[in-house]
Amino acid sequence: MATIEDFEKIEIRCGRIIEIIPFPEARKPAYKIRIDFGPGLGIRMSCAQLPANYEAGQLVGKLVASVVNFPPRKIGPALSEVLVLGFPDENGNAVLVSPDREVPLGGRLF
């Protein structure tokens, strides 16, 4: 069983999507995403399988929750620096975790 101390080790922070980049090399439909986490963390890259539920234009400006302290992960030719969080819909496609109002960039989930 996980403990509260285990949970506290994971840094889940809020960032704003600033750019969506096509990722045709991905095995499954995906985007490369630039996310701004504010002055403390800056801009980080991620890769996410979002095209089933989101057009690229819908995502720019959206606030998203991401794990920022996992090691970078190579996704094909791209490097994913943060893990964008989502829940599966009825078809198993990602639905993003996002605050329902404006919050400061880089804010940590507690």
Over residues 54-76, the pLDDT tens digits come to 999 999 999 999 999 999 999 99
Domain 11-94 is classified in which CATH homologous superfamily? Nucleic acid-binding proteins (2.40.50.140)
- How long, in residues, is the chain? 110
Domain ranges of the chain: 11-94
The answer to whether 50 touches 92, Cβ cutoff 8 Å, is: no
Residue-level pLDDT at 3: 97
pTM of the model: 0.95
Nearest Cα neighbor of 63 from 10, 12, 103 is 103
Report residue 12: phi and psi, to 5°. -105, 120
Over residues 81-91, the mean pLDDT reads 98
